[in-house]
Structure 1
Amino acid sequence: MLYLLGVLVVFVGIAVSIALHEIGHLVPAKLFKVRVTQYMVGFGPTLWSRTRGETEYGVKAIPLGGYIRMIGMFPPRAGDGGRLRASSSNPLHLMVEQAREESLEEVGPGDEDRVFYRLPVWKRIVVMAGGPLMNLAISAVLITLLLTVQGLSVGTPTVSQVAACANTDVADEDCDGQPASPAAEAGFEVGDTIVSVDGTPVEDWASTTYAIQNAGEQATFVVERDGSAQTLTADLVLRERPLVTAEGEPVLDDEGELVYGEVGFLGASPTVVNEPQPLTSVPPVVGEMFTGTAGIVLTLPERMVDVAQAAFGAEERDPNGPMSVVGVGRVAGEVTHDGLNGLVETAQERFWLLVSLLASLNMALFVFNLIPLLPLDGGHIAGALWEGVKKTWARVLRRPAPGPVDTAAALPVAYAVALGLLGMTVLLIYADIVRPVQIG
């Protein structure tokens, strides 16, 4: 039941995100007096619709997208009013002219100044950018709630668990043939709060880890236990592990790879608490999510090759790689049902993890829709920007203003992109079924 609840929450969240994305287009279009004939969430057969004023609002059977229909999306071909050239034998020309004709069929008497292509460049950019910006706003709001209400998980220097033996699993109590962990041998107890390491005060687990990392083979700890200070000396076990900074960040080399070194192993785990963050922490987190998502989108062809190799071969899926809606739903269901390897257990923690997932999805919708290719919003924005450049150049050279950029001419590219997106979706769904991403 919990599994289905998680899937349902994410699918409803995706549907709401799509609906709000289209509202991001709808509101500025109506403000700029463009006639909008349809506002639809989903594709395929219409399940429900109502007409209010001049716009039909509805829901379709496949809730994996949406659209608004504005009259005059494509300008008429210069010199002929946009009439279909029946004499053309080029199928691409016929396809373009047919789309142009259909776009102009909805333009009735009195609508000449309410067509999309007649809007000033900046208004067209506002209309087309409104959808992606709505997704960015949703992502930012969800991240704000995560940081200010739930807070970030922070490790405190209070010990929550003491390893029984010197192995890598703190929770493993089977010490057959293994020595006791340095923490157990030194006399650490659950509830001890580490105050200093080798005379260096520590305030959180990041600074504690950094001090242990640089302590060598032995470290002296001052801990607070039952209101009194005690001194414990631990003979650390040296192991090859990733190095961290005093702030708890991993040390990276010039190529962005982890730097390893011999560091001390104590065998104690921190108590993790959620600390609400100030509003000033939101912009950096949103920026990091944006750059990370943009990095995935920019390397999408390479990542799709990796997905194909995993789907049809023996390789594991990249946990940070792309997933389909099926994969996202599966992750949501598993997290809601099983938690996340001891890190996410309570209902509250699972709820916030779903919120984080929806924030990431909306950031992905924002970045992906800005790709400057039709039929994506970024393609229309790029066309408007190009028209703005041409008109500005004409003014500089004191030449007559050029007409609207003929975005209909790019429809063959748009259809090719659409086919590519369909193929990518099919591959991701297949991979998410036969070799899903392993979480945790």
Structure 2
Amino acid sequence: MLAYIIGVVLFALGICVSVALHEAGHMFTAKAFGMKVRRYFVGFGPTVFSWRRGETEYGLKWIPLGGFCDIAGMTALDEVTPDEAPRAMWRFKTWKRTVVMSAGSITHFILGFVVLYLMAVTMGLPNLNAGPTVPVLDSTSCARPTLSKEQAEAQANAPCPKEALTPAATAGLRPGDRVLAVGGKPVATWDEMLTAVQATSGKTVFEVQRGTQQLWLVVDVPKVPRWNGENVKEVGMIGASPKMEPPTVQYGPVAAVGATVSFTGTMFAETAQRLVQFPERIPAVVTAIFGGERDKDTPVSVVGASRIGGEAVERGIWVLFFFLLASLNFFIGVFNLLPLLPLDGGHIAVVWYERVRDWIRARRGKAAGGPVDYTRLSGITMVLVLIGGAVTLLTVTADIVNPIRLQ
């Protein structure tokens, strides 16, 4: 129990640090361009303590959930003092404002990359091909009949007698062979190969890759009665087991760079896919709140992610803990760039709308238009805030009453 609590606290702390660094990304880039940063605080609520260094006030607040960076003149509607006006953010070039507003998300991406790199050189990156995914033989196993659940369980760990020749071994199949086709039907995964073998019988041609050689071996496939979880059914069997890929892959300091870049690309693609599927998974969250089974693919809140992180620490699965932390950083970074107010992506969209609009006006011989009136967007912004709040409430509730748990 203590390990679980420590895991939850560590994961929540990791999220808080990530969000605080998000705001630090805004602050450092704004200062680098000469914008005035009034305040940088970690947390919300009453102030615990603060100090002033130069023109910026730094501090910590009681509720350590995020933070904020107050940049003078983020929009033309923000009030600025006469001495702040020349350095108001809205007066700077479009690209500089874009860099400042995207710096938070970029910080999340850097954090996620650093976490993955450190995993790659220490505990290893999760192997996306872990398990019997590729039809590569590891060893031969007995093609024995199983007539019940108990017999299937007993035989699962029972070794095949050394003197027993299985159909695979008799035909010349060896450990390390990769099966390309069964009976002329191409197979790309172990499951596809298994399905093809179970559906065939008699002399069947197996196309095999052995090193640089491509072989065609004839296997006499027998029909064997097997327990399938519900009843006994005769299926084709050759007596072979798959080569299991390791759950993680560790790299050297140099090789880890390329591996991390590749893994990061995969995570970006999965994050984008999850964002697209996000709305259609909300009904499943509601169902889970009212007692339905919680789908592991439903969205989780910070509460849910922290609980999973706690369970990972409790079971000693630190790879999962840090993988979740990296995943959350990528998700927050991508989500924050969506062109919706009040997200940073919404502000970036407004800035570039002004830039494109003024470019078109200039082509027509007209003067540049004024800054976008954010008050006209307040209605849309409020609706999006309410929707975001409702989704957050739903996911937090589901993570409390019916959380996702590790299997």
| CA shift for structure 1 position 296 | 2.1
The structure-2 alpha-carbon separation of the partners of 1:11 and 1:407, relative to structure 1 and needing over 3 Å to count, comes to same
Whole-angstrom distance in 1 between the partners of 2:143 and 2:45: 57
Whole-angstrom distance in 2 between the partners of 1:184 and 1:372: 59
Which residue number in structure 1 is paired with residue 94 of structure 2? 121
Which residue number in structure 1 is paired with residue 106 of structure 2? 133
Which residue number in structure 2 is paired with residue 336 of structure 1? 313
Pairs within 5 Å for 1:186-201:
187=162, 198-199=172-173
| CA shift for structure 1 position 202 | 1.9
Verify the 8 A CA contact 1:185 1:234 in the aligned structure 2: no
Which residue number in structure 1 is paired with residue 261 of structure 2? 283
Whole-angstrom distance in 2 between the partners of 1:197 and 1:366: 54
The structure-2 alpha-carbon separation of the partners of 1:163 and 1:434, relative to structure 1 and needing over 3 Å to count, comes to farther
1:340-397 Cα shifts (integer Å, max 9, x gaps): xxxxxxx4xx222111010110011011101211111111011011011112112222
Gaps of 5+ in 1: 77-102, 220-232, 242-261, 339-346
The structure-2 alpha-carbon separation of the partners of 1:121 and 1:234, relative to structure 1 and needing over 3 Å to count, comes to same
| CA shift for structure 1 position 235 | 6.1
Gaps of 5+ in 2: 180-187, 205-219, 229-234
Which residue number in structure 1 is paired with residue 207 of structure 2? none
Whole-angstrom distance in 2 between the partners of 1:57 and 1:363: 27
- Residue type matched to 1:416 in 2? V
Whole-angstrom distance in 2 between the partners of 1:147 and 1:165: 43
- Calculate percent identity across the aligned residue pairs: 33
User: Secondary structure of the residue that 1:372 maps to in structure 2?
Assistant: coil
Which residue number in structure 1 is paired with residue 369 of structure 2? 402
The structure-2 alpha-carbon separation of the partners of 1:391 and 1:239, relative to structure 1 and needing over 3 Å to count, comes to farther
| CA shift for structure 1 position 407 | 2.9
The structure-2 alpha-carbon separation of the partners of 1:196 and 1:293, relative to structure 1 and needing over 3 Å to count, comes to farther
Verify the 8 A CA contact 1:383 1:407 in the aligned structure 2: no
User: Secondary structure of the residue that 2:386 maps to in structure 1?
Assistant: helix
The structure-2 alpha-carbon separation of the partners of 1:166 and 1:316, relative to structure 1 and needing over 3 Å to count, comes to same
What TM-score do the two structures reach when normalised by structure 2? Answer: 0.75
Verify the 8 A CA contact 1:74 1:406 in the aligned structure 2: no
Which residue number in structure 2 is paired with residue 415 of structure 1? 382
Whole-angstrom distance in 2 between the partners of 1:393 and 1:57: 42
Residue range with higher mean Cα deviation, 56-65 or 262-271? 262-271
User: Secondary structure of the residue that 1:27 maps to in structure 2?
Assistant: helix
| CA shift for structure 1 position 433 | 1.2
| CA shift for structure 1 position 399 | 1.6
**Residue 175 in structure 1 maps to residue 176 in structure 2:** no
RMSD: 3.9
| CA shift for structure 1 position 236 | 7.6
Which residue number in structure 1 is paired with residue 74 of structure 2? 73
1:148-178 Cα shifts (integer Å, max 9, x gaps): 441444569657x99998499xxx9x539x8
Verify the 8 A CA contact 1:162 1:183 in the aligned structure 2: no
- Residue type matched to 2:119 in 1? L
Which residue number in structure 1 is paired with residue 38 of structure 2? 37
Whole-angstrom distance in 1 between the partners of 2:261 and 2:125: 15
- Residue type matched to 1:60 in 2? K
| CA shift for structure 1 position 288 | 2.2
1:16-36 Cα shifts (integer Å, max 9, x gaps): 111111111111111121111
Whole-angstrom distance in 2 between the partners of 1:196 and 1:280: 42
What TM-score do the two structures reach when normalised by structure 1? Answer: 0.70
**Residue 146 in structure 1 maps to residue 119 in structure 2:** yes
- Residue type matched to 1:316 in 2? E
Verify the 8 A CA contact 1:138 1:362 in the aligned structure 2: yes
User: Secondary structure of the residue that 1:299 maps to in structure 2?
Assistant: helix
Count of equivalent residues = 362
Which residue number in structure 1 is paired with residue 216 of structure 2? none
